[in-house]
Amino acid sequence: MKTKLISLGMVIGVVMAVQATDYVMLNPLDTAFLPTIPLKDYGGDKARNALENDALWHASDQSLDMETFSSDELHKVAKKLYRTTHRHYVTFPVAYWSKMPQGDSLLVSGRVYLPKERKLNGIIISNHFITTSDEDVPSDMLAMESVFTMKGYAVIMPDYVGYGLSIGERQPDLDWHNAVQTAVDMLDNMSALLNYYGYSYPADVVVTGYSQGGAVALGVSRMLEEQGGAWSVRMLYVGIDPYNATGTYLYSADNEEQGESVAIPLIITTLSDEYGLEFWLEDFFLEPLLSIYDEWIVTTEYTDEQNKELMASSMPFVKYVYQDLR
């Protein structure tokens, strides 16, 4: 019997319990769970001077060397920056309703970083890299992007659909529509939060993203420009972003390699779910991936490093996946 690709249902009871204890609701704004933010940033100048020390960044560069990069190293650098900066900003996970392209609303999540100084230089929307682990998404981890609060920026980081409060939904990869929408919806809901705390802020934003987040960042900029609403884009920074989906795939197929072990499986399920193509797993995957697909790819329990190990043990079938896709 063929196994059809279907979306997993979200467990509402679990989501509501998490929301009540850990997340601040943005729409409508629930002020009961908001933390107090002092009006004065005592010691902020000293921390800013520390961040300009070359030794700190040299150590970070070594930790993030491309030859040894891992999410564990990323966490180490984030913790190092946290020790320097955490007294000078406030961060908390947030929940909000986002309008999906299909027309329904979905409860999604993210994280905000707010400097203590009330006059903001701007808002940064940061879109995260590809991951298959719920431990690596903004609402559940400290991000290096928090360092920009020391320069007077509020930083907002949405979770992708399928993570955080929307866990159980399939993560769409290289289908930017809902990832872009959740980012824009998070930005739209920031005004009430910032006004509550008494922040002044410009209406132009800085949009950033890396890897999968780079492609999303391009989409966020495009949507904000096309909407012509309250927000405009001041600057856009992207890195190693697969904005050319066809070119990214062809490179992987021709070289029988890919930057992330789960990229091709996620793209296949995205095409099936988002465009109603109703692919069958057997049309694309061989064993052992075929039998453990939902556990491996969909559960968000495995880190990128664990997935790479699993993929490495299954490499003989990868080239056949590429051949079939082409």
Query: In this predicted model, what pLDDT tens digit does every residue of 48-63 receive, in sequence order?
Result: 777 776 666 666 666 5
Q: What is the CATH number of the domain that holds 85?
A: 3.40.50.1820
Per the structure, the count of domains in the chain is 2
Residue 246 falls inside a structural domain: no
Lowest mean pLDDT among 47-51, 64-68, 194-198, 235-239: 64-68
Residues 28 and 159 grouped into a single domain: yes
Asked whether residue 218 falls in the same domain as residue 267, the answer is no
Question: What is the structure's pLDDT at 21?
Answer: 42
Percent of the chain with pLDDT over 70: 66
Q: Are residues 148 and 220 in the same domain?
A: yes
Which of 191, 215, 239 is the last residue in one of the domains? Answer: 239
Same-domain check for residues 126 and 273: no
Task: Clarify whether residues 159 and 261 are in a common domain.
Answer: no
In a domain, 244, yes or no: no
Q: What is the pLDDT of residues 91-107, one digit of tens each?
A: 999 999 998 877 789 99
One domain, residues 121 and 260: no
Same structural domain, 98 and 122: yes
Spell out the SS3 assignment of the chain. Answer: CCCECCCCCCCHHHHHHHHHHHCEECCCCCHHHCCCCCCCCCCHHHHHHHHCCHHHHHHHHHHCCCCCCCHHHHHHHHHHHHHHHHHHEEEEEEEEEEECCCCCEEEEEEEEEEECCCECCEEEEEECCCCCEHHHCHHHCCCHHHHHHHHCEEEEEECCCCCHHHECECCCCCCHHHHHHHHHHHHHCHHHHHHHHCCECCCEEEEEEECHHHHHHHHHHHHHHHHCCCCEEEEEEEECCCCCHHHHHHHHHHHCCCCCCCHHHHHHHHHHHHHCCCCEHHHCCCCCHHHHHHHHHHCCECCHHHHHHHHHHCHHHHHHHHHHHC
Per-residue confidence band for 184, with pLDDT thresholds at 50, 70 and 90: very high
Stronger pLDDT, 128 or 299, i.e. the higher one: 128
Question: How confident is the model over 311-324, as a mean pLDDT?
Answer: 52
Query: How does residue 44 score in pLDDT terms, banded at 50, 70 and 90?
Result: confident
According to the model, what pLDDT value does residue 23 have? 92
| pLDDT greater than 80 at residue 165 | yes
Q: State residue 220's pLDDT score.
A: 95
Q: pLDDT tens-digit profile of 228-247? A: 888 999 999 998 777 666 67
Instruction: Note whether residue 6 is domain-resident.
Output: no
Residue 289's domain spans which residues?
251-325
- Whether residue 217 is found in the same domain as residue 290: no
Determine the average pLDDT of the residues in 99-127. Answer: 91
Question: 186, 215, 239 — which closes off a domain?
Answer: 239
| Residues 17 and 150 placed together within one structural domain of the fold | yes
Same structural domain for residues 193 and 286?
A: no
Last residue in a domain, options 239, 270, 304:
239
Residue 195: predicted pLDDT: 96
